[in-house]
Amino acid sequence: MYSIVFTSLLVIILCWKTHKLITKKRVSGDFKGIDDELVIMVNEGEAID
């Protein structure tokens, strides 16, 4: 019983981690995206002169 519970817990953790990594990969974008986003963000709000 102990072995089943322990193994199940580890499998659940592994599944959860994989799901999290895949989701992150899907939304992480690319360097170009990060670059454009940064420039848009620093130009928003109070202007730097």
Partner 1 sequence: MTKQAVQFSKKRRTTYRFQKVKLCKKCNRYSVLKDEYCPACGSLFIGVETLGNSLSKRRLFTEVSWIILFVSIGVFFAPTRHTLYYSLIVGLIFCLTYIVLTFVFMKSEYFHELKKLLRVDLKKIKTGIWFDSDLAKEDVKAERLADGYDKLREIGDFIKSDAMKQSQVMVLNRIALRSDMELELEGLIPTSYDKHFVKYALEVLKINRTLMTKKCIVYFIRYRDAIVVDFGIDSLLSVACMTLRMKLYILEFSEFIEEYLDYFPKERVLRLYSIIYSNPDIEWGSLAEKTKRVVAMKYYYDPDFKPFMERKQVLTN
> What is the contact surface with partner 1 in residues (CB under 8 A)?
2-3, 6-7, 9-10, 13-14, 17-18, 21-22, 24-25, 28-32, 34-35, 37-39, 41-43, 45-49
For 42, other C-beta atoms within 10 Å of its C-beta total: 9
Least gap, CB of 40 to partner 1 (angstroms): 9
Least gap, CB of 1 to partner 1 (angstroms): 9
Q: How far apart are CA 39 and CA 31, in angstroms?
A: 12
Give the CA dihedral 23, 25, 27, 33, nearest 10 degrees.
170
Least gap, CB of 9 to partner 1 (angstroms): 8
